[in-house]
């Protein structure tokens, strides 16, 4: 007869054997898993290193292309704006470096850059729209008439455009020097815009904006700048609006509105040498009463105007 003690020992031995088997089996499986994970890690590490090398190579190619474009840009635009005058208007977020680069290439193209207008941080602020409307109305020089639209961008363009641009019909200033100085002084006091010393009205305008805009009011800010540029375009021989390389922001608003896009030219990559060349050539098109949309965004017609570099 099997004693109770023998039975207990036997059962314990069975469980012990099972436990040992589980441990041994787990160890074997763990070893295989670890070996597989290690091989996968090495493979992924190799892929990361390969991608890093490809990225560095692409960055070097982009840098080389930009360096080449910067070198040839002055030759590509030479004489395109000879005997043309241009005023540079920039929104608050545009860097000094970008403004200087655009201004330099305009001069390389033979343009007479008559000065700069810098829009203040409050210019496109929806919370200050009523104040901007009031200031524009109060500062309007005698002889000028504001557009009938009530939005602040259009109204501001109806003031700053004639202050900065020559009459497209007569080629003469649309305001006197004192009236121009007084209006810009009032805009500066309100934090809406400042003009460089000695600003002279020009035939054409470049409106530089940044972006993409962020926050709850991003769409409103972009719309203000797009409508402002539209009115500036109407005030002179033409204008080019520039923005971010993704084609959103003010440029996106302008391109999405057929009424704006049919007259105002846009360039979405003004931060690159090729984009600055496109600005110059688009200005030449504007002087010839043509409009186009250029850059690298999907909404662009091409990198530059066809047949001009």
- Indicate if 251 and 182 belong to the same structural domain: yes
Residue 174 · residue 145 · CB < 8 Å: no
Give the alpha-carbon dihedral of 31, 37, 43, 48, to 10 degrees.
-150
Mean pLDDT value across residues 268-286: 95
Report the pLDDT value the prediction gives residue 15, as an integer from 0 to 100: 62
- Indicate if 108 and 210 belong to the same structural domain: yes
H or E segment to which residue 87 belongs: strand 85-90
pLDDT digits (tens, 9 = 90+) for 65-86: 445 455 667 888 999 999 999 9
pLDDT digits (tens, 9 = 90+) for 186-237: 999 999 999 999 999 999 999 999 876 666 678 889 999 999 999 999 999 9
Q: Residue 204: helix, strand or coil by DSSP?
A: strand
Distance CA 101, CA 122 (A): 25
Q: What is the chain's Cα-based Rg? A: 32
Report the pLDDT value the prediction gives residue 35, as an integer from 0 to 100: 74
Distance CA 188, CA 195 (A): 8
Q: Is 147 exposed, middle or buried (0-12, 13-18, 19+ CB in 10 A)?
A: middle
H or E segment to which residue 37 belongs: helix 4-77
Q: Which position has the higher pLDDT, 83 or 3? A: 83
Report the pLDDT value the prediction gives residue 154, as an integer from 0 to 100: 97
Residues 6+ apart with CB under 8 A from 52: none
Q: 259 lies in a domain?
A: yes
Q: 304 lies in a domain?
A: no
Confidence of residue 252 (pLDDT cuts 50, 70, 90): very high
Does 64 have pLDDT greater than 60?
no
- The count of residues in the chain is 309
Mean pLDDT value across residues 234-246: 93
- Indicate if 15 and 147 belong to the same structural domain: no
Please give the share of the chain, as a percent, with pLDDT higher than 70: 75
- Indicate if 41 and 153 belong to the same structural domain: no
- Indicate if 49 and 182 belong to the same structural domain: no
- Indicate if 84 and 222 belong to the same structural domain: yes
pLDDT digits (tens, 9 = 90+) for 131-163: 999 999 999 999 999 999 889 999 999 999 999
Closest CA to 309 of 61, 64, 67, 78: 78
* Order of all β-strands in the sheet with 85-90: 193-195, 112-119, 85-90, 204-208, 238-242, 265-267, 293-294
Q: 305 lies in a domain?
A: no
Best mean pLDDT range from 34-48, 53-67, 260-274: 260-274
H or E segment to which residue 263 belongs: none
Does 4 have pLDDT greater than 80?
no
- Indicate if 46 and 174 belong to the same structural domain: no
Q: 257 lies in a domain?
A: yes
Q: 9 lies in a domain?
A: yes
Mean pLDDT value across residues 28-38: 66
Number of domains forming the structure of the chain: 2
Mean pLDDT value across residues 151-176: 97
- Indicate if 181 and 40 belong to the same structural domain: no
Distance CA 303, CA 153 (A): 28
Does 309 have pLDDT greater than 50?
no
pLDDT digits (tens, 9 = 90+) for 101-125: 999 999 999 999 999 999 999 999 9
Does 60 have pLDDT greater than 50?
no
Please give the share of the chain, as a percent, with pLDDT higher than 90: 67
H or E segment to which residue 211 belongs: none
- Indicate if 19 and 159 belong to the same structural domain: no
For 32-36, 142-146, 182-186, which range has the lowest pLDDT when averaged over its residues?
32-36
Burial 250-287 (b: 16+ CB within 10 A, else e): bbbbbbeeeebbebbbbbbbbbbbbbbbbbbbbbbbbb
- Indicate if 129 and 106 belong to the same structural domain: yes
| First vs last C-alpha separation in the chain | 107
Q: 115 lies in a domain?
A: yes
Which residue range is the domain that position 9 belongs to? 1-77
Confidence of residue 248 (pLDDT cuts 50, 70, 90): confident
Distance CA 237, CA 165 (A): 8
The residue out of 21, 53, 77 marking a domain boundary is: 77
Mean pLDDT value across residues 30-35: 66
Mean pLDDT value across residues 249-271: 95
Average pLDDT score, the chain: 85
H or E segment to which residue 88 belongs: strand 85-90
Q: 39 lies in a domain?
A: yes
Residue 222 · residue 248 · CB < 8 Å: yes
DSSP 130-157: HHHHHHHHHHPPTT----S--SHHHHHH
H or E segment to which residue 85 belongs: strand 85-90
């Amino acid at each position: 007869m099997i004693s109770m003690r023998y039975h207990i020992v036997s059962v314990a031995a069975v469980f012990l054997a099972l436990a040992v088997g589980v441990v041994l089996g787990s160890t074997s499986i763990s070893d295989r898993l670890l070996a597989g994970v290690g091989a996968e890690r090495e493979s992924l590490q190799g892929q990361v290193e390969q991608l890093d090398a490809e990225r560095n190579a692409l960055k070097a190619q982009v840098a080389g292309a930009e360096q080449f474009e910067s070198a040839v840009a002055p030759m590509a635009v030479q004489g395109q704006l000879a005997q043309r005058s241009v005023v540079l208007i920039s929104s608050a977020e545009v860097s000094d470096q970008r403004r200087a680069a655009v201004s330099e290439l305009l001069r390389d193209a033979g343009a007479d850059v008559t000065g700069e207008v810098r829009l203040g941080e409050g210019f496109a602020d929806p919370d200050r729209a009523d104040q901007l409307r009031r200031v524009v109305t109060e500062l309007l020089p005698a002889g000028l008439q504001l557009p009938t639209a009530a939005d602040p961008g259009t109204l501001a363009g109806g003031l700053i455009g004639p202050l900065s641009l020559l009459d497209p019909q007569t080629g003469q200033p649309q305001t006197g020097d004192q009236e121009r100085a007084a209006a810009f002084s009032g805009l500066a006091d309100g934090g809406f815009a400042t003009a460089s010393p000695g600003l002279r009205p020009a035939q054409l305008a470049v409106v530089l904006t940044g972006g993409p805009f962020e926050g709850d009011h991003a769409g409103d800010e972009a719309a203000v700048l797009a409508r402002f540029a539209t009115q500036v375009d109407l005030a002179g021989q033409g204008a080019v609006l520039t923005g971010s390389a993704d084609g959103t922001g003010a440029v996106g608003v302008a391109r999405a509105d057929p009424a704006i896009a049919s007259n105002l030219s846009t360039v979405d990559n003004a931060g690159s040498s090729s984009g600055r060349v496109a600005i110059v050539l688009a200005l030449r098109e504007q002087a010839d009463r043509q409009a186009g949309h250029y850059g690298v965004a999907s909404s662009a017609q091409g990198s530059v105007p066809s047949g001009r570099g």
